Amino acid sequence: MSPALVVGVDVGGTNIEAGLVRPDHQVLGRRKAATPAGGPDAVLDTIEMLVGTLGGDPVAVGVGVPGVVHGGEVLTVPNLPGWIRPIDLATELTKRLDLPVALGNDANVGLLGEWVAGSAAGAENVLGVWLGTGVGGGLILGGQPFTGVHGAAGEIGHVLIRADGALCHCGRRGCVEAYAGRRAMEHTVGVMVGAGCVTSLHEIRDRYGKARLTSKVWARALAQDDPLAVEVFAAAVEAIGIGVANAVVLTDVDTVVVGGGLAEKLGQGLADRIATAAQPWLLARHARLRFIAAALGDDSGVVGAAALARRSGSC
Amino acid sequence: MSPALVVGVDVGGTNIEAGLVRPDHQVLGRRKAATPAGGPDAVLDTIEMLVGTLGGDPVAVGVGVPGVVHGGEVLTVPNLPGWIRPIDLATELTKRLDLPVALGNDANVGLLGEWVAGSAAGAENVLGVWLGTGVGGGLILGGQPFTGVHGAAGEIGHVLIRADGALCHCGRRGCVEAYAGRRAMEHTVGVMVGAGCVTSLHEIRDRYGKARLTSKVWARALAQDDPLAVEVFAAAVEAIGIGVANAVVLTDVDTVVVGGGLAEKLGQGLADRIATAAQPWLLARHARLRFIAAALGDDSGVVGAAALARRSGSC
């Protein structure tokens, strides 16, 4: 008898990735499609299509979405157009696929992937920091994923570092994400260029045929020491470092995993830079705090979503 | 057969309180002594004396101390003189008393008391904020006390609210405690008076025969609308509100318990003020966050320390 396969789906701001995952967390096959702009129904269509083309007779589906998820409902999805009210995505998908569906926040799910099969394997107390369009996060506490009352625990992106600081997408001021998300960094670059600064970021973006300053664009600009890219990125790393230190003071974890698109491109070097930025803000007792880059790359979300489905059901 | 009694001991910066506690968390008898300045040995002597005079044939002892506690060791005690290196307080006390001893951080233990028998009873996800000389804290997460890797989780006093803000006793800048602890408030008052401000705080202090601006002194000055007391205290409440909001974003708890000396004097009115201060810094999903004052007063530490001993052993 073949082992039960589970599909893990990672819904991102740019792409939706789906993979067929074995019980040992190996990914057997992958499918990918652009995230449609048409709101929840279009996203459901895409997930249904991807699961169908993967085949493999899966017994369950896990899905990570870039929003707050609680009890099978997607409460808010700030980074996808058309998600204006809570959606019962799990019930909808179960109807379409005739399979049990588990739902989680994308960063929580990414951290879960790294925890079951990646760089955080075996760790008991972990903060995940997921760097993409926004800054997501997740927590493993006392050897278990911890998601809080509304499924929103670990939101490192909205940890405050400066009361009355920079305006954040969430409407508050001084959040980590106001300095460190790709959206915030792109906004800063736009303002600086408008004020006369010169940068190669937009030229690289156009050369790569991208609409936005993607992680790949940032990695390239940083590799060639573009001064504006270096400056804006340094401010982002500083904000992440302070926010992580703040989170570590509160949760007393000993492991920080850095994941998401930027971590995939920049690897352990980025984790090391965040460690250096966090250092002045940590208490003495946190001297042995480890900062490690996610190890599964693009797969952490897919592997984590599948693991979530396995943990939620009996498969 | 009489039910097994446990002694709970609450080591504070000013007094050490001990109580004989029944399994239903009722306190049968209390003893109190000034906290000696002679370091750990003198504190051990005082605890031994208090436990002896309480009598009652207890089966275990629980102790809350104002420092970081891990694995029976007191790692740091920033607010007591002479505690300059880690002390194995549990082993020492067990030797002296011939009883099992459990050790915890004072704010963690206070929150535990409120959780087993006070205002947080039955809550699954709680942040405790303990306002005294410093600002302590604790966490109940997923229906269990959570203390982290080094026993230091929930340190709301060292959650940062303004990178590069006011200098804190811990050596970092911008912690909640740099604005909100009694030590920090007293320092601010001293500077303001030196700069020409007028206040009744010192007169009240002298009238009460106190050496410092205690919670009772603050409560009196606030009750008579002393302008400087009102101003410094408002800044403290603002800092606590921002810090609590920051902690709630990260942990997604739905209950905040406000305890410690200042809460004992100011009650639910203080919890309500902190709620108001936190509001602008919370995300929409935290609308139903409850702020409640500790209900056990002076007893929360004693009851919590006893509960810690019961949870640690078989009694």
Phi-psi region of B25 (alpha: psi -120 to 50; beta: other; left: phi over 0): left
Q: Does B241 lie in the same domain as B196?
A: yes
Contacts of B152 in chain A (CB under 8 A): 249, 252, 283, 285
* Cβ contact A44:A90 at 8 Å: no
What is the distance between the terminal CA atoms of chain A, rounded to a whole angstrom? 14
Q: Which residue blocks in chain A are alpha helix, DSSP H?
A: 40-54, 89-97, 106-117, 177-180, 182-194, 201-207, 215-223, 227-251, 261-278, 299-312
The confidence score (pLDDT) of residue A77 equals 79
Length of chain A: 315
Half-sphere exposure for A175 (CA within 13 Å, toward CB): 27
* Cβ contact B134:B66 at 8 Å: yes
Q: Mutation target for A interface from B68, B74, B149: give the one with most A CBs within 10 A.
A: B149
Q: Does A152 lie in the same domain as A82?
A: no
Residue B149 carries which side chain, given as an amino acid letter?
Answer: V
Which residue of chain A has the CA closest to B283?
A: A170
Q: Does A83 lie in the same domain as A202?
A: no
Of A312, A313, A314, A311, give the one whose Cα is nearest residue A115: A311
Are B172 and A285 within 8 A, CB to CB?
no
pLDDT tens, chain B, 315 aa long = 467 999 999 998 889 999 999 999 999 999 999 999 888 999 999 999 999 999 999 999 999 998 888 877 887 777 787 887 888 999 999 999 999 999 999 999 999 999 999 999 999 999 999 998 899 999 999 999 999 998 889 999 999 999 889 998 888 889 999 999 899 999 999 999 999 999 999 999 999 999 999 999 999 999 999 999 999 999 999 999 999 999 999 999 999 999 999 999 999 999 999 999 999 998 877 778 999 999 999 899 999 999 999 998 745
User: What is the band of A314 on the pLDDT scale with cuts at 50, 70, 90?
Assistant: very low
Are A124 and B149 within 8 A, CB to CB?
yes
Sheet hosting strand B27-34, strand order edge to edge: B27-34, B15-21, B6-11, B60-65, B101-105
* Cβ contact B233:B217 at 8 Å: no
The confidence score (pLDDT) of residue B315 equals 52
Q: Does B106 lie in the same domain as B129?
A: no
Radius of gyration from C-alpha coordinates of chain B: 19
Token pair 């996610």 is at which residue? Answer: A294
Q: Does B179 lie in the same domain as B79?
A: no
Spatial distance between the Cα atoms of A142 and A147, rounded to a whole number of angstroms:
13
Of A237, A230, A232, give the one whose Cα is nearest residue A271: A237
* Cβ contact B177:B158 at 8 Å: yes
User: What is the band of A315 on the pLDDT scale with cuts at 50, 70, 90?
Assistant: low
Q: Is residue A197 pLDDT above 90, yes or no?
A: yes
Q: Mutation target for B interface from A147, A251, A286: give the one with most B CBs within 10 A.
A: A251
* Cβ contact B262:B213 at 8 Å: no
Are B285 and A141 within 8 A, CB to CB?
no
Q: Does B131 lie in the same domain as B172?
A: yes
Spatial distance between the Cα atoms of B150 and A248, rounded to a whole number of angstroms:
11
Contacts of A242 in chain B (CB under 8 A): 160, 163
Using one digit for the tens of pLDDT, what is the confidence trace for A44-85? Answer: 999 999 999 999 999 999 999 988 888 778 877 777 778 878
Of B71, B16, B81, B83, give the one whose Cα is nearest residue B45: B16
The confidence score (pLDDT) of residue A2 equals 62
**Alpha-carbon distance A26 to nearest alpha carbon in chain B (angstroms):** 30
Among residues of chain A, what percentage have pLDDT more than 90?
Answer: 78
Helices (H) and strands (E) in chain A, counts: 10, 12
Within a domain: A117: no
* Cβ contact B13:B132 at 8 Å: yes
Q: How many domains does chain B divide into?
A: 2
Q: Does A257 lie in the same domain as A152?
A: yes
Average pLDDT value for residue range A293-315: 91
Q: Does A225 lie in the same domain as A282?
A: yes
Backbone angles phi, psi at B52, to 5 degrees: -60, -45
- Give the residue numbers spanning the domain of A213: 123-293
Within a domain: B249: yes
Q: Does A249 lie in the same domain as A149?
A: yes
CATH code at B185? 3.30.420.40
Strand partners, A62: A8, A102
Q: Residue A258: helix, strand or coil by DSSP?
A: strand
Of B157, B58, B141, give the one whose Cα is nearest residue B105: B157
Which runs of E-coded beta strand occur in B56-190? Answer: 60-65, 68-70, 73-76, 101-105, 126-131, 135-141, 144-146
Q: Does A213 lie in the same domain as A136?
A: yes
Within a domain: A202: yes
Within a domain: B1: no
* Cβ contact A9:A61 at 8 Å: yes
Average pLDDT value for residue range A5-33: 95
**Chain B residues in contact with chain A using a Cβ-Cβ cutoff of 8 Å:** 68, 75-76, 124-125, 141-142, 144, 146-156, 158-163, 170, 172, 242, 245-247, 249-254, 280-281, 283-286
Within a domain: B117: no
Spatial distance between the Cα atoms of B177 and B156, rounded to a whole number of angstroms:
8
* Cβ contact A274:A241 at 8 Å: yes
Average pLDDT value for residue range A127-135: 94
- Give the tokens for residue A296: 């599964």
The confidence score (pLDDT) of residue B84 equals 79
Spatial distance between the Cα atoms of B24 and B2, rounded to a whole number of angstroms:
13
- With residue B190 as reference, give the H or E element that holds it: helix B182-194
- Give the tokens for residue A5: 């396969």
Q: Does B265 lie in the same domain as B170?
A: yes
- With residue B293 as reference, give the H or E element that holds it: strand B290-293
Within a domain: B10: yes
Cβ-based neighbour number of residue B228 at 10 Å: 17
Q: Give the CA distances from residue B232 to residues A175, B79, B235, B266, in Å, rounded to whole numbers and listed in that order.
A: 26, 21, 5, 15
Within a domain: B33: yes
B153 vs A150, A155, A251: nearest CB:
A251
Within a domain: A151: yes
- Give the tokens for residue B9: 């001991």
Q: Does B87 lie in the same domain as B220?
A: no
